[in-house]
């Protein structure tokens, strides 16, 4: 079974500071990994995804994440936070194998990012 | 092009009632998945349909059912509503529904059971 653990339910940073949101995964097969962002009362928007190409993945809005197999991690970073980055962020894993779990996303609990002026 | 559309956006139901939620995928997408997001938690997988067939089912009771129509739109039905069914229900569509194709999410339907 797959699982995702996001360390820290709330992260607070100052505008212009580094953003680091932590995600560790567990999967019995090589995974696909995703980061989604959710603004209040909205659906989920994909920030970036890892599908076994480059281990450093660049996404939208200046975010990037690095896949580290040895650490089973896929942490999300952004060099300089903007006020507009305030939202909830979800890490998710998908089974790349076939079967009934194919395409199913397993999400972490989410991390709420607050950006202070 | 229109994104994933869900209807209604909000509804309030009484315990024991039945509810039907609807989802229209992005044009050309053949896979629809449903997720339940309880307040303060990440989305939980309920169903995936691809080419009108159920491909996957999450750990939800039989009160939950779904179907996909020939035009690839989908309905999620929940019978005998419980207070614990109150949540944001998200629909996601993707072209193939396999592991590495992007899933596009709708705005969700906020269900409140009283």
Residues of B in contact with A105 (CB under 8 A): 33, 35, 43, 45, 92, 103
Yes or no, beta carbons of B103 and A51 under 8 Å apart: no
A6-22 pLDDT tens trace: 999 999 999 999 999 99
Contacts of A100 (CB under 8 A, 6+ apart): B55, B56, B57
Q: Is the pLDDT of residue A98 over 60?
A: no
Interatomic CA distance for residues B34 and B65, integer angstroms: 10
pLDDT of residue A52: 76
**CB-CB neighbors (< 8 A) of A104 in chain B:** 33, 45, 48, 56, 58
Is B107 near chain A, with CB under 8 Å?
yes
- Grade residue B100 by pLDDT with cuts at 50, 70 and 90: low
Residue A95 has pLDDT above 90, yes or no: no
- Spacing of C-alpha B14 from chain mean position: 20
Answer yes or no: is pLDDT of A101 > 90.
Answer: no
Task: Give exposure, A85-110, as e/b (b: 16+ Cβ within 10 Å).
Answer: bbbbbbbbbbbbeeeebbbbbbbbbb
Residue B102 confidence class, pLDDT cut points 50, 70, 90: confident
Which residues fall within 8 angstroms of residue A108, CB to CB, at 6 or more apart? A4, A5, A6, A23, A90, A91, A92, B42
Q: Does the structure show a pLDDT above 50 at A100?
A: no
CB contact under 8 A, B103 and A46: yes
CB pairs under 8 A between A and B: 78
CA B102 to chain CA centroid, nearest Å: 17
pLDDT at residue B98 in the model: 65
Measured in angstroms, the CA of A57 and the nearest CA of chain B are apart by 14
Pairing relation of β-strands B109-113 and B10-13?
A: parallel
Distance from C-alpha of B94 to C-alpha of A47, rounded to nearest angstrom: 16
- A74, A25 in Cβ contact below 8 A? yes
Alpha-carbon distance of A47 to A35, in angstroms, equals 5
User: A6 or A54: which carries more pLDDT confidence?
Assistant: A6
Between A77 and A100, the more confident residue is A77
* Residue B1's pLDDT band (cuts 50, 70, 90): low
Percent of chain B whose pLDDT exceeds 90: 82
Task: Please provide the average confidence, as pLDDT, over all residues in chain A.
Answer: 90
Confidence (pLDDT) at A28: 76
Residue of A10, A103, A110, A111 best to disrupt the B interface, most CBs of B under 10 A: A103
User: Which sign, positive or negative, has the C-alpha torsion B97, B99, B102, B106?
Assistant: positive
What pLDDT shows up at residue A54? Answer: 85
Instruction: Band the pLDDT of B99: cuts 50, 70, 90.
Output: low
The DSSP code for B102 is P
Please write the tens of the pLDDT for every residue from B41-78.
999 999 999 889 998 899 999 999 999 999 999 999 99
Contact list in A for residue B104 (CB cut-off 8 A) is 46
Residue closest to A49 by CA, chosen among A62, A65, A61: A65
């Amino acid at each position: 079974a797959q699982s995702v653990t996001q360390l820290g339910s709330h992260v607070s940073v100052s505008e212009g500071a580094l953003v680091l949101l932590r995600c560790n995964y567990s999967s019995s097969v090589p995974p696909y990994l995703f980061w989604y962002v959710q603004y209040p009362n909205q659906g989920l928007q994909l920030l970036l995804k890892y599908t076994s190409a480059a281990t450093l993945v660049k996404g939208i809005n200046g975010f990037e994440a690095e896949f580290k197999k040895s650490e089973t991690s896929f942490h999300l970073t952004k060099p300089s936070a903007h006020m507009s980055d305030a939202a909830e962020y979800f890490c998710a894993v998908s089974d790349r194998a076939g079967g009934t779990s194919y395409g199913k996303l397993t999400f972490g609990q989410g991390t709420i990012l607050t950006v202070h002026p | 092009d229109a994104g994933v559309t869900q209807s209604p956006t909000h509804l309030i139901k009484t315990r024991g009632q039945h509810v039907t939620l609807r989802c229209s995928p992005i044009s050309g997408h053949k896979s629809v998945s449903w997720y339940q997001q309880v307040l303060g938690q990440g989305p939980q997988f309920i169903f995936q349909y691809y080419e009108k067939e159920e491909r996957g089912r999450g750990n939800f009771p039989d009160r939950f059912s779904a179907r996909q129509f020939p035009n690839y739109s989908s309905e999620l039905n929940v019978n005998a509503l419980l207070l614990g069914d109150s949540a944001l229900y998200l629909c996601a569509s993707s072209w193939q529904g396999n592991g590495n194709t992007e899933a596009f999410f709708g705005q969700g339907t906020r269900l409140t059971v009283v």
